[in-house]
Amino acid sequence: QVRLVESGGGLVQAGGSLRLSCAASGSIFRINTMAWYRQTPGKERELVATITSGGDTNYADSVKGRFTISRDNAENTVYLQMTSLKPEDTTVYYCNLDVSRFGRSFINKYWGQGTQVTVSS
């Protein structure tokens, strides 16, 4: 089964930390760049961070210095370590392939349920 399952979200206070996990079943995820996204209802989905199969990373300016993306290919898992969380980080987080490489129509087949992150003031 080719699928993505996010977990690790929860409720934290501003300034706190949280680690999200993405269980990625399927070789297509293991050999390609992976990404974390977040989307608030009514707002455009935002690309948060990417990581290549070799470990090169890139981050949105809004999370740079606070979030760290990593992956364990042996365990088919992608992580997002979030620190210094702000109320603005509150939303649902998803993992998927890098849209810049495959296009939205292609990656749309793989969206999981996402995991909710709520940061209180």
pLDDT tens string 71-109:
998 899 999 999 999 999 999 999 999 999 999 999 999
> Cα(85)–Cα(67) distance, rounded to whole angstroms?
9
Which pLDDT score, from 0 to 100, does residue 91 have?
97
- In this prediction, residue 2 has a pLDDT band, given cuts at 50, 70 and 90, of confident
pLDDT in tens, 21-77: 999 998 899 999 999 999 988 889 999 999 999 999 999 999 999 999 999 988 999
Interatomic CA distance for residues 28 and 121, integer angstroms: 39
pLDDT of residue 40: 87
Calculate ∠ Cα 55-61-67, nearest 5°.
50
Indicate the residue type of 89. D
Q: How confident is the model at residue 111 (pLDDT cuts 50, 70, 90)?
A: very high
* pLDDT for 79: 98
pLDDT for 12: 98
pLDDT at 1 (0 to 100): 77
